[in-house]
Structure 1
Amino acid sequence: MRGRLGEVVVDLSAVAGNVRTVAGVARTGVMAVVKADGFGHGAESVARAAIGAGAGWLGVTSSTEALVLRSAGIRVPMLSWLHRPDEDFTALIAERVDVAVSTLTHLHAVAAAAARLGAPAIVQLKADIGLSRNGAGGDDWPELVAWARKYEVEGGVRVRGVWSHLTGADVPGQPGLAGQSATFREALRVARDAGLTPELVHLANSAAALSAPQTRYDLCRIGLALYGVDPFDPTGPGRFGLRPAMTLRTSVVNVKRVPAGTGVSYGPDHVTDRATTLALIPLGYADGLSRTCEGRASVWLAGRRCPIVGRIAMDQCVVDAGDLPVALGDPVVVFGGEGGEASGGGDPSGGGGVPSVGEWARWAGTNPHEVMTGIGARVARVHLHGER
């Protein structure tokens, strides 16, 4: 950590193990979702680890993300699924990136780019089965597949896949899952009746890959599970054998012993109720430590959980270390792979093990995705390839 105020340590062996774990449960192919810089873990490194463990596909949000990976020499099949309607798709087509298509406008633009390039575009058509975000639903779906078939016959487009996204597979017993699955089967039937023969059909995300066999089809798209977070209980013991890959750590940059009645940070919103030791750590909300965690969050310091007290600032926050022997430079783990409540309880003032990303999400009133992707760029990423 020399010279760094904080760092994210990414265990790539955990990423690889999570790919194998999900593949073993689902018994399908795996698409490793590495959008948003691999959920903050580093897209290129995560992609290589996932591919090495058997992932046959990569999933990204945008053409920019796809082309960055292609420029790094990563040549495996890749799906890019969110684009402007006026985007020039020639670069994606030239780099043999599958383009997800949800509207006729996008399909026409892809076909036009393929004609300019003189090479067919490979597309995957997305159906909306209830999420009401991207994807074609209702009368738009038959029209989309009809035009796709027309372009396919003309040689400008190849329809490789049909896919969709579930609304709430991470909720055990989700009552809408059966209906969404039926809607997807009907969308697939309409596509095939139009003359399309997709070789790739996919619906399941991390939660469905682990729990809903009827959604698995040819491959499963895994995001949260890829990074080792249980999609059903992010603060729990990891019943599926997933291993968290990310640890956020820093060190103490100031220590002071203060009497009872001392105000801490802005406001002050917190006043000490006893003589205690305050430790300053150089991470704040610009680094992903949400201000909404104030009064709830803790970190691992001197072998115990210690609460963050007072307002979290942009660059720093204060930890109440009580009577622990804390010194300048002591290591601090904000959250890490060992997990929190999985290690024996969630008491922020002691015990409980290293806090988990799931606990930080709960303290912030959000999900683990936002916690991991919210860690700022000034926090260095360090990738471990199996070494501890």
Structure 2
Amino acid sequence: MNEKLRPAWVEISRKKAIHNFLEVKRAVGPNVKVCAVVKADSYGMGSVELSKMYLENGVDMLAVAVFSEAMELRKEIKDKDILVLGYTPEEFYDDAIENNITLTVYTLELAEKLNAVAKKFNKTAKIHIKVETGMNRLGFLPTEENADKVAKIAALGNIFIEGIYSHQARADEKDKTIAHKQAGKFISFIKMLEERGVTIPVKHIANSATIIDLPEYHFDMVRPGIILSGFYPSDEVNKDEYKFEICVTLKAKLANVKTIESGEGVGYGHLFNTTGKTVVGTIPMGYADGYSRLLSNKGY
């Protein structure tokens, strides 16, 4: 926001943002693609601006959560693959095909409907298959029956399965038992598909934590998210091998400064209480800016 209109703003360090992206590239090596996850406006940092930085430094694909985010990116970024990780309503299939947006498919019925729309435009719709391995949200369960369904999708005339992926639920924990279990299910399903003659070029399961701790699951592509901002996924991942730098700073001008006496409470619930004369500064931002009340007395 223009500082003249509002005395609170976010600053992004271009140098640190690029460093974080290049650190991901270093982690995965030259033979693994990088799909930068820029959902939620890159966690409020500006997806278009950051995506352009990543493009300048060799990103292979961009990923967002919902279709509207993909369309916003497409207005500014014309020639790079954009993957929608979440649900896309059928009424947007026309726009997806016309704008070369890659959709996630997790049922045969969705694929058949998308194929029909693509056929109408005499085009091929590019998709990624989502596999359910443990998050228990979207995705094909890794069963023989569902392998048959994906084989049917692969046979559709106006569909190209470019990728297949899953998402790790607990890779950021020190105990990697669940992470290994999920990866095992993913690999097993890929083998089922290959037995049916279905070979999918881009396989990916690695989120930020998996990129850092589980290089054996980098496969063909990785999907960094929070580490691009410079934050580690948790305190349980290895912080020694790769150094990510926080690239975002929230700033505001002081609206008022005053001195209050000992024994005074500050803010809702008086969660902070003075033990002596204290200088208190007030800044002009709050809930409307995404600064949660849950952070009361926890900022620094």
Q: Same fold (TM over 0.5)?
A: yes
Question: Given residue 145 of structure 1, which amino acid in structure 2 is its aligned partner?
Answer: V
Residue 87 of structure 1 aligns to a residue in which SS?
helix
The CA distance in 1 between the partners of 2:267 and 2:187, in whole Å, is 56
Per-residue CA distance 1:315-366 (angstroms, 9 max, x = gap): xxxxxxxxxxxxxxxxxxxxxxxxxxxxxxxxxxxxxxxxxxxxxxxxxxxx
Question: Given residue 37 of structure 2, which amino acid in structure 1 is its aligned partner?
Answer: V
User: Which residue number corresponds to residue 147 of structure 1?
Assistant: 152
The CA distance in 1 between the partners of 2:248 and 2:236, in whole Å, is 13
The CA distance in 1 between the partners of 2:15 and 2:129, in whole Å, is 33
Q: 1:209 to 1:196 in 2, by over 3 A?
A: same
| Alignment map for 1:300-379 (pairs within 5 Å) | none
Residue 128 of structure 1 aligns to a residue in which SS?
coil
The CA distance in 2 between the partners of 1:75 and 1:234, in whole Å, is 38
User: Which residue number corresponds to residue 175 of structure 1?
Assistant: 177
Per-residue CA distance 1:13-38 (angstroms, 9 max, x = gap): 22221111111111121100111111
User: Which residue number corresponds to residue 166 of structure 2?
Assistant: 164
Deviation at 1:72? 1.1
User: Which residue number corresponds to residue 285 of structure 1?
Assistant: 287
Deviation at 1:236? 10
User: Which residue number corresponds to residue 78 of structure 1?
Assistant: 82
Aligned match for 1:258, one of 248, 257, 260: 260
Residue 160 of structure 1 aligns to a residue in which SS?
strand
The CA distance in 1 between the partners of 2:25 and 2:140, in whole Å, is 29
| Alignment map for 1:61-140 (pairs within 5 Å) | 61-139=65-143
Aligned match for 1:275, one of 274, 277, 292: 277
Q: What's the RMSD between the two structures over aligned residues?
A: 2.2
The CA distance in 1 between the partners of 2:104 and 2:269, in whole Å, is 49
User: Which residue number corresponds to residue 223 of structure 1?
Assistant: 225
Deviation at 1:180? 1.4
Residue 4 of structure 1 aligns to a residue in which SS?
coil
The CA distance in 1 between the partners of 2:237 and 2:206, in whole Å, is 22
Aligned match for 1:243, one of 230, 245, 251: 245
Deviation at 1:146? 2.4
Per-residue CA distance 1:125-148 (angstroms, 9 max, x = gap): 111111111111044622431221
Q: 1:235 to 1:9 in 2, by over 3 A?
A: farther
Q: 1:135 to 1:56 in 2, by over 3 A?
A: same
1:181–1:214 Cα contact (<8 Å) kept: no
Deviation at 1:189? 1.1
Aligned match for 2:59, one of 55, 60, 66: 55
Residue 75 of structure 1 aligns to a residue in which SS?
coil
Q: Using structure 1 for the length normalisation, give the TM-score.
A: 0.71
Deviation at 1:174? 1.6
Structure 2: gaps of 5 or more residues: none
Residue 169 of structure 1 aligns to a residue in which SS?
coil
2:67–2:84 Cα contact (<8 Å) kept: yes
The CA distance in 2 between the partners of 1:90 and 1:124, in whole Å, is 17
Deviation at 1:150? 2.3
Deviation at 1:100? 1.1
The CA distance in 2 between the partners of 1:144 and 1:6, in whole Å, is 52
Q: 1:268 to 1:160 in 2, by over 3 A?
A: closer
Q: Identity over aligned residues, as a percent? A: 27
Question: Given residue 188 of structure 1, which amino acid in structure 2 is its aligned partner?
Answer: I
User: Which residue number corresponds to residue 211 of structure 1?
Assistant: 213
1:100–1:124 Cα contact (<8 Å) kept: yes
Q: Using structure 2 for the length normalisation, give the TM-score.
A: 0.91
Deviation at 1:272? 3.0
